[in-house]
């Protein structure tokens, strides 16, 4: 990895977070108040460790927790704690868990019936 005074280039950051470079550029445009890497004299983006932490937080919200861009912006702007999820999100997770359990029960019953018929 190429480092310049403790700062990393966009390609290095993309490797670290396992996301394409164009995604980093897009997130920078969508979250300008959160992701704003400094620029070299030549205009290249240079990311600090703090910048990478913010990007990882955005990645988690969008990719793992399923927030939309607008939802992630709102969550980050309001300064809510990372482990604090809005009630609407918790309801969706509970509803989905219940649905998944119902599907599992139905599939087991169906498989059991098919085995009994053999």
The domain segmentation of the chain, as residue ranges, is 3-82, 85-118
User: Strand, coil or helix: what is 26?
Assistant: helix
* 100 touches 93 (CB < 8 A): no
Q: From 74, 21, 63, 77, select the one nearest 44 (Cα to Cα).
A: 21
pLDDT digits (tens, 9 = 90+) for 23-51: 999 999 999 989 999 999 999 999 999 99
User: Which residue did the predictor score with more confidence, 100 or 95?
Assistant: 100
Mean pLDDT of 9-15: 94
Whether pTM exceeds 0.85: no
CA distance 88 to 104: 24
The count of residues in the chain is 118
User: Strand, coil or helix: what is 18?
Assistant: coil
Write out the CATH class of domain 3-82. mainly alpha
On average, the pLDDT of the chain sits at 81
User: Strand, coil or helix: what is 14?
Assistant: helix
Q: What pLDDT is recorded for position 100?
A: 72
């Amino acid at each position: 990895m190429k480092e310049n005074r403790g700062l990393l280039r966009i390609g290095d950051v993309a490797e670290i977070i396992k996301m394409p470079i164009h995604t980093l550029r897009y997130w920078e445009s969508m979250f300008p108040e959160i992701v704003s890497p400094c620029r070299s004299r030549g205009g290249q983006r240079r990311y600090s460790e703090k910048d990478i932490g913010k990007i990882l937080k955005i990645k988690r919200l969008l990719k793992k927790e399923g927030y939309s861009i607008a939802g992630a912006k709102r969550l980050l702007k309001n300064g809510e704690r990372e482990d604090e999820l809005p009630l609407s999100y918790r309801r969706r997770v509970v509803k989905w868990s219940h649905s998944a359990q119902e599907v599992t029960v139905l599939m087991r019953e169906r498989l059991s019936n098919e085995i009994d018929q053999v």
